[in-house]
Chain A
């Protein structure tokens, strides 16, 4: 196929990077929705919901992403579903993201000062209205920098789905390193592409932190 690490090979890496981005976006979207539900359950008045959410977060944060990935992959197969590996990869990354995002957002919700709850209760807002109009808008400011920071972790963690044969950036690097016999060059280039995706996100997260910290202390 390819025998040298030339422009074509680099183009192949670049093209595979779009699957890394795609996987990250899917996991952010699905994990975000699930994470929000879990974060709300985590601060619920119902003890059972709270405990279930705490347990879920504890498990997701207590096992390696690799284990989540294999459980999703083999679990889907065990259910008799014949789906492409990308599906299992997206499922695993979403589960992973949901556990961490839920914990970030729980922290953000709980760091909204208590008088905000009391004031809105005295205004006869329902709990849903309190979340919608009072708590969530303030929590978003607090949650935004660590959420963007987590996306960096998510991008990096998608590298392990290469083990399922999904040709994203890390897998493309493996393929090229074998094809070109230039593993050092190939993996440095792969790392550079990951860096090109992650570094801007890290910087955005840092800027947001500086910019929003004034409000967040509230």
Chain B
């Protein structure tokens, strides 16, 4: 299989390893989306409910995570913590690293969503006789999530792409599998073209899927605004 002088035959023959890698990428990304999203939501809601002088732990967490590379965070977890007697397998370290990293970005996104809810909405909710918890849930959190859904989708796509860095701590996800294949076949350029295409498809698939999740899991009236708000291109941010 030679296209434009590039030999894809042996790469296609290595498809099973790539498919395994793809599954691993999907697994760790999914875990990090669920856990990181939860961490972000909890941190953002906690921060908004906390008194002013207790907001700093969340701010420190967010700033530290967002201003250091994911790679170094993974190194600290996978290579640094064992020195203190805490050991993780590559997949555990990857999921923990991606979770705390994405959690920080999600905190910022949810915080923006929560801050966009006007005070009068909360007062209206309370005057309707909703309890404080009900106000937090129905007036603040749910509308905030709907409002920031497009930003979250972009964040989750960036996370999936960033998970390629987990190959640095010897996880055999797509990039790790690619590295193994290229060192066995020497068809380095071809391998990376193939996995580049795989990532493109994965990102496009994830975007459509999350868009559908947004459209079908949110209550009726908010759907129309969500359709409008969905960006046609990925967000103008990159994350690692």
Residues of A within 8 A of B (CB): 54, 57-59, 61-67, 70-71, 74-75, 77-78, 96, 100, 103-104, 107, 146, 149-150, 152-154, 156-157, 159-160, 162-163, 170, 173-174, 177, 181-188, 190-191, 194-195, 198-199, 202
Contact = CB atoms under 8 A, between A and B. Distances in A.
B68 A191 contact: yes
A63 B64 CA distance: 26
A9 to B, nearest CB: 15
Contacts of B76: 184, 187-188, 191
Q: Which 8 pairs between the two chains have the least Cβ-Cβ distance?
A: A184-B80, A64-B164, A198-B67, A159-B69, A156-B69, A74-B188, A64-B161, A62-B200
Interface of B: 63-64, 66-73, 75-76, 79-84, 161-165, 167-168, 175, 178, 182, 188-189, 192-193, 195-196, 199-200, 203-204, 233-234, 236-240
A170 B70 CA distance: 11
A96 B82 CA distance: 34
Contacts of B84: 184
B204 A62 contact: yes
Contacts, number: 148
A129 B51 CA distance: 53
Contacts of A149: 237
Contacts of A183: 75, 79-80, 82-83
B67 A187 contact: no
Contact of A187 (B79, B167, B182): B79
A202 B105 CA distance: 13
A203 to B, nearest CB: 9
Contacts of A78: 189
5 contacts: A62-B161, A64-B175, A107-B236, A153-B237, A190-B75
A79 B189 CA distance: 11
